[in-house]
Structure 1
Amino acid sequence: MTETSDAAAPAPDADRHAAVQAVEDELSSLIGSVRRVLAEHAERVSPGMLPGVYKVLTTIARHEGITLSALAESLMADKGQMSRAVRELEGLGLVERAADPRDRRSSALRATAVGQERLAAARAPRERALVAALEDWALEDVQALARLLRALATGTTPGA
Structure 2
Amino acid sequence: MNDDRHKNTPRGQLELGLGEQINALISASHALNVKTAARFDPSIQPAGFHIIRWLYSYGPTSATMLAESTAMDRSSVSRLVKQLELLGYVKREASPDDRRGILLSLTELGRQKTIDALKEKEFVFYEHISRWDDEQLENFIGMLRDFNGFDHK
Say whether the fold is shared (TM-score over 0.5). Answer: yes
| Count of paired positions | 148
Say whether 1:64 aligns with 2:59. yes
**Which amino acid in the other structure matches residue 110 of structure 1?**
S
Alignment of 1:97-108 (within 5 A): 97-108=92-103
Contact 2:93 2:103 in 1 (8 A): yes
User: Which segment drifts farther, 65-74 or 129-138?
Assistant: 129-138
- Runs ≥4 residues deviating over 6 A: none
User: Which segment drifts farther, 53-62 or 15-24?
Assistant: 15-24
What is the deviation of 1:44? Answer: 1.0
Contact 2:88 2:107 in 1 (8 A): yes
Contact 1:66 1:110 in 2 (8 A): yes
Contact 2:145 2:152 in 1 (8 A): no
| Percentage of identical aligned residues | 24
Say whether 1:111 aligns with 2:106. yes
Aligned pair partner of 1:19 in 14, 20, 24: 14
Give the unaligned 5+ runs of structure 1: 1-10
Contact 1:65 1:100 in 2 (8 A): no
What is the deviation of 1:91? Answer: 1.0
* Paired residue secondary structure (1:110): strand
Q: TM-score, normalised by structure 2?
A: 0.87
Match of 1:137 in 2: 132
What is the deviation of 1:140? Answer: 1.6
Aligned pair partner of 2:25 in 22, 30, 33: 30
Describe the superposition over 1:62-120 as per-residue Cα deviations: whole angstroms up to 9, x where unpaired. Answer: 12111111111111221111111111111111111111112222211111111111111
Aligned pair partner of 2:142 in 126, 134, 147: 147
**Which amino acid in the other structure matches residue 124 of structure 1?**
K
